[in-house]
Structure 1
Amino acid sequence: MFSAALAGFALGGSLIVAIGAQNAFILRQGLIRSHVFILCLICATSDAVLIAAGVGGLGTLVSRSPMLIAVVTIGGVAFLGTYAVMAFRRAWRPSALVAGTPQGMPLRAAVMACLAFTFLNPHVYLDTVVLLGSLSAAHHGAARLAYGAGAVAASFTWFFALGYGARFLAPLFARPSAWRVLDLLIGLVMALLATGLLVSFLAGR
């Protein structure tokens, strides 16, 4: 069972650590120390639910539902494109990180954005539900549960490490130029992801 849990942790970690919209959002929120715990918890718990669904057999159903994937893809393109524009606007007028000064969006808006980054990204379903779910079929019984638990542990470890580890970069982001670079990178990541999703969607039609 330990080897199955380790395999789940390794694969789950390799999929989650990849640069993406969700990670960029958590990094920025961690830097400004805004709603870090609740946002990390939402991301990790969402992954846990999707991984459990995949290990439980939902992966096969999702992979056979092109309509569901199409709806999520279109929504993801619109949301990522909008957030990319917002990031580029912030880069145009960057601000320094001032200790003790609350920055960022209200909790409700941050939670809604976090949920959108999570569930409007079709790759999250392909990674957690379809891929992890399919590969879990190589394990049986308790080993399959251990595999899923390992993948869930990787998600919790990564998001909380990213969210709370970001604060160690705060001194660097005391300069507006550092925020300009970060927001430019975030904008580029969002724009590239939106473009990639749109191209894949159109190519598959």
Structure 2
Amino acid sequence: MLSFFTGFTVGLSLIVAIGAQNIWVLSQSMAGANRLVIAAVCILCDAALIVTGVYSVQLIQQWLPPLVPVLTWAGVAMLSWLAFGAAQRAWQGQGALLANSRVQVHSWQKTALTALAITLLNPHVYLDTVVLIGSVGSAQSEPFCFTLGACLASLCWFSALTGLAPKLKVWLSSPLRWRLFDALVALVLTGIALKLAV
């Protein structure tokens, strides 16, 4: 359960932080533009990248054991940097997720292709899911449970973002709520970084 909870919290913290993708998803969902298609594409892409990250690092552990400490400390450094960024945003209070109210609705095929492009052409997605989640997940006692938790975080986030878009627009546009969320993210990521370092 600890690996599952770690996967869920790390996954949620990183997925929520990918701003451009979330703004697009929220804007499209507010317009009622193929919400099920958008959620499915984002969730499946995240799941594929998370599984690839965790198990590719495990293969590296088997083939090149000397790289394991390097990957572990790289994960600690990245988690610490992300925690610092979240703490800085919480202190400054500049965070908010603002959706575009003027959105053109396209066919589900075009929406799916756009969702794929926004997800897979964003370098932060690979850095967060493959590199960071992969390095943290491979260090867990139960990598499968960690992977399951991280994938569930993506499922919960994008299901909520697409399904509850009208209500979330008000909630996510509040700088105060984002300050609280960023403070929580900073604490969680710092705790996981310390655990990984030990």
Same fold (TM over 0.5): yes
Change in Cα spacing, 1:125 to 1:11, as seen in structure 2 (3 Å) is: same
What stretches of structure 2 of length at least 5 have no aligned partner? Answer: 61-99, 171-198
Cα separation, 1, equivalents of 2:57 and 2:32 = 36
- C-alpha contact 2:18 2:125 (8 A) present in aligned 1: no
Q: How much does 1:137 deviate? A: 2.1
Cα separation, 2, equivalents of 1:169 and 1:24 = 12
Cα separation, 2, equivalents of 1:162 and 1:40 = 8
Within the alignment, does 1:17 sit opposite 2:12 as a pair? no
Matches within 5 A, 1:151-166: 151-166=150-165
Q: How much does 1:167 deviate? A: 2.7
* Equivalent position of 1:195 in the other structure: none
Change in Cα spacing, 1:31 to 1:53, as seen in structure 2 (3 Å) is: same
Cα separation, 2, equivalents of 1:137 and 1:58 = 6
CA deviation profile, 1:51-98 (whole Å, cap 9, x unmatched): 00011115998xxxxxxxxxxxxxxxxxxxxxxxxxxxxx8xx75x9x
What stretches of structure 1 of length at least 5 have no aligned partner? Answer: 62-90, 98-102, 173-205
CA deviation profile, 1:139-186 (whole Å, cap 9, x unmatched): 24xx1100010000000000010111113368x8xxxxxxxxxxxxxx
Q: How much does 1:105 deviate? A: 1.6
Change in Cα spacing, 1:115 to 1:6, as seen in structure 2 (3 Å) is: same
CA deviation profile, 1:21-67 (whole Å, cap 9, x unmatched): 21111101110111001110110111000000011115998xxxxxx
Cα separation, 1, equivalents of 2:57 and 2:24 = 28
Cα separation, 2, equivalents of 1:165 and 1:59 = 37
Cα separation, 2, equivalents of 1:138 and 1:58 = 9
Q: TM-score w.r.t. structure 1 length?
A: 0.58
Cα separation, 1, equivalents of 2:117 and 2:11 = 21
* Equivalent position of 1:197 in the other structure: none
Cα separation, 2, equivalents of 1:3 and 1:59 = 19
* Equivalent position of 1:111 in the other structure: 112
* Equivalent position of 2:143 in the other structure: 144
Cα separation, 2, equivalents of 1:109 and 1:59 = 36
- C-alpha contact 1:31 1:169 (8 A) present in aligned 2: no
Asked which structure has the greater CA Rg, the reply is: 1
Cα separation, 2, equivalents of 1:169 and 1:13 = 16
RMSD in angstroms over aligned alpha carbons? 2.4
Q: Secondary structure at the match of 1:27?
A: helix
Cα separation, 1, equivalents of 2:140 and 2:159 = 28
Cα separation, 1, equivalents of 2:121 and 2:166 = 27
Cα separation, 2, equivalents of 1:124 and 1:60 = 21
Q: Which amino acid aligns with 2:151?
A: V
Cα separation, 2, equivalents of 1:33 and 1:122 = 27
Matches within 5 A, 1:29-40: 29-40=28-39
Cα separation, 2, equivalents of 1:59 and 1:162 = 32
Q: TM-score w.r.t. structure 2 length?
A: 0.60
